[in-house]
Amino acid sequence: MALGLALVLSSCGDGKSSGGAGSGAKSEVIAIAADPLDYINPLNENGSPGIQVAQAVFAPLVATDPNTGKTVNVMAESVTPDKTSQTWTIKLKSGNTFQNGQALTAKDYVDSWNLTAQGSTAWKNNGFFSKVEGYDAMNPPTPDGATPKPTSVKTLSGLKQIDDLTFSVKLKVPFSQFGLTLQYLGLAPLPEEVRKNPDAYKRKPIGNGAFKLDGAWNPGDDIKLVKWDGYKGPNAPEADAITFRFIPNADTAYNEFLAGNVDFVDVPPTKIKTFKTDAPDGWVTATSSGANYLTMPAWDPRYKNPKLRHAFSMAIDRKAFADLVGLATPSNGLVSPDMDGYRPDACKYCTFDPTAAKQLLAEAGGFSGAVNINYNTTSATGQIFAEAIGNMLRQNLGLTVKYTGKQGSEITQLADTRKLDGLRFSGWGHDYPSIEDYLTPMFKSNGDANFSGYNNPELDKVLAQGDAEPNPEKAIKLYQQAEDIALEDMPLIPLYAKQNAYLHSAKIMPRVSKYTGVQALYSTFK
């Protein structure tokens, strides 16, 4: 799942757990229930595990203030749109450097963004620059799932360096949300030596954030970071050292916390009913800004008819499935409930109605063959959730269902190359607080997280209208129209939103904010 990290605090324990790990008064070990990272590069990462590490090593241009919810400058001195919100001027604060001592300049942003916008680079955040003038020349039409060939054009025409600390961005059309997007770490700069040979620095990143790599790091190892004294940005974390420990099995990660070997861990779905008694004074629950879906493969003609997708959706008992997930509520739209613009009943095909589902399936001409549901074998509940959905499709639609378990990274790779057979689970959480960030990445034809391979020019057109609308309330109305189009086409079937739960050791209290959520990186030490 590609999930952002913003969360909203709901309730918490008093933080007096007997757990704890790490050496030194201000060190902490953060468990991440995922396969180990192969590299650290925020420009080529949009998954939660990599983003968590990148947040420590790299600093954004702007950020959301955890106390007020307002956008504040970090590396940026100012971010100024013109009257139309089409051309934006970004001025950097002076005196900032990378962790190798190189001064941080406007050229670093311009060159890093151009490198990412080059389609042949095949970095995951390429699509973020699709709104910038000149993007199309660097990303020629390419067969779905293929990597674009190198082009003679190597720079975005809309990206201009003005002086050492100032650059401008001209967009194809006005985009009133652009200033908010600058807090996304996919826009982080890379120093010159890394840009010249990115592969050589896959496992020895040079960032501009509050922490740097502590010694050598090889795939599979813990990622050990120490505070970097050169960081001059606001809101530096309190920790002196942080270790990210990757444990593929979420239950194992949870047990490592109970054994006192880590300081912070997500509570897996299998422990939702027991975590409060397992760590009675060291838990936090929070309503996630993530939304969770069942993803349909647009590349498979058997799933082409929207009525079939509507049938699948109405055959799912979301209340029963949310109860199985735990701390979850059924979804009736594509957007997280805590976003401005969320509508509680946006989806008219999300009501559980087996009779209507059967009728829609008949009108679609039925389904040929077996429905294959792919699940992540490293998740303790992956097969359980897949079989729950499969049983509903089998019982309520009379379909034949099979299941395929693979590692999450393999499922993603197959889907990205349009070779995945069947359905899979996916999720998303915003990278910046806007309803637009739930729509553009997943439903725009070239979106970075277009899990299903969906393409609808009409939706692209309405999104562009929303982007160009300077009035926030009017822009939300247009984005809601785009959501309606996506819900009618239903490349992703909404499933649930949930509360996330975390355990923390007695020596720390994670930062909690209704604006930026629960963050172990910004823990207070006792």
Residue 400 maps to which CATH number?
3.10.105.10
Is 33 domain-assigned?
no
Alpha-carbon distance of 325 to 224, in angstroms, equals 33
Q: What is the separation, in whole angstroms, between the first and last Cα of the chain?
A: 34
Is 163 domain-assigned?
yes
Residue 100 CB: number of other CB atoms within 10 A? 14
Do residues 194 and 336 share a domain?
Answer: no
Place of tokens 């985009």: 175
Q: Which residues pair with 175 in a beta bridge?
A: none
Is 16 domain-assigned?
no
Element at 494 (helix H, strand E): strand 492-504
Is 235 domain-assigned?
no
Look at residues 159, 191, 209 and tell me which one is the last residue of a structural domain. Answer: 209
Place of tokens 């909203």: 8
Domain of 115, in residue numbers: 41-209
pLDDT in tens, the chain (526 residues): 333 333 333 344 433 333 334 445 799 999 999 989 999 999 999 888 999 999 999 999 999 998 888 899 999 999 999 998 999 999 999 999 999 999 999 999 999 999 999 999 999 999 889 999 999 999 998 887 788 889 999 999 999 999 999 999 999 988 888 999 999 999 999 999 999 999 999 999 999 999 999 999 998 899 999 999 999 999 899 999 999 999 999 999 999 999 999 999 999 888 988 999 999 999 998 776 778 999 999 999 999 999 999 999 999 999 999 999 988 999 999 998 878 899 999 999 999 999 999 999 999 999 999 999 999 998 878 999 999 999 999 999 999 999 999 998 899 999 989 999 999 999 988 878 889 999 999 999 988 889 899 999 999 999 989 988 888 889 999 999 999 999 999 999 999 998 889 999 999 999 988 778 789 999 999 9
Closest CA to 88 of 207, 173, 15: 173
Is 262 domain-assigned?
no
Alpha-carbon distance of 125 to 132, in angstroms, equals 13
Closest CA to 81 of 181, 185, 169: 169
Is 266 domain-assigned?
no
Place of tokens 């725009």: 444
Do residues 202 and 298 share a domain?
Answer: no
Place of tokens 């992956």: 382
Specify the pLDDT at position 3. 38
CATH of residue 67:
3.90.76.10
Contacts of 226 (CB under 8 A, 6+ apart): 211, 212, 214, 240, 241
Specify the pLDDT at position 6. 35
SS3 105: coil
Residue 362 CB: number of other CB atoms within 10 A? 12
Helices (H), 223-339: 250-258, 275-278, 306-314, 318-325
Residue 219 CB: number of other CB atoms within 10 A? 12
DSSP 121: G
Closest CA to 49 of 63, 58, 37, 57: 37
Given a contact cutoff of 8 angstroms between Cβ atoms, the answer to whether 140 and 198 are in contact is no
Is 332 domain-assigned?
yes
Is 226 domain-assigned?
no
Alpha-carbon distance of 280 to 283, in angstroms, equals 7
Look at residues 174, 209, 244 and tell me which one is the last residue of a structural domain. Answer: 209
Residue 414 CB: number of other CB atoms within 10 A? 18
Which tokens belong to 19?
């757990």
Burial class of residue 172 (count of CB atoms within 10 Å of its CB; 0-12, 13-18, 19+): middle
Do residues 296 and 443 share a domain?
Answer: yes
For 62, phi and psi rounded to 5 degrees?
A: -135, 170
Alpha-carbon distance of 216 to 193, in angstroms, equals 18
Alpha-carbon distance of 12 to 279, in angstroms, equals 12
Look at residues 175, 191, 209 and tell me which one is the last residue of a structural domain. Answer: 209
Do residues 467 and 331 share a domain?
Answer: yes
* Number of domains comprising the chain: 2
Do residues 309 and 411 share a domain?
Answer: yes
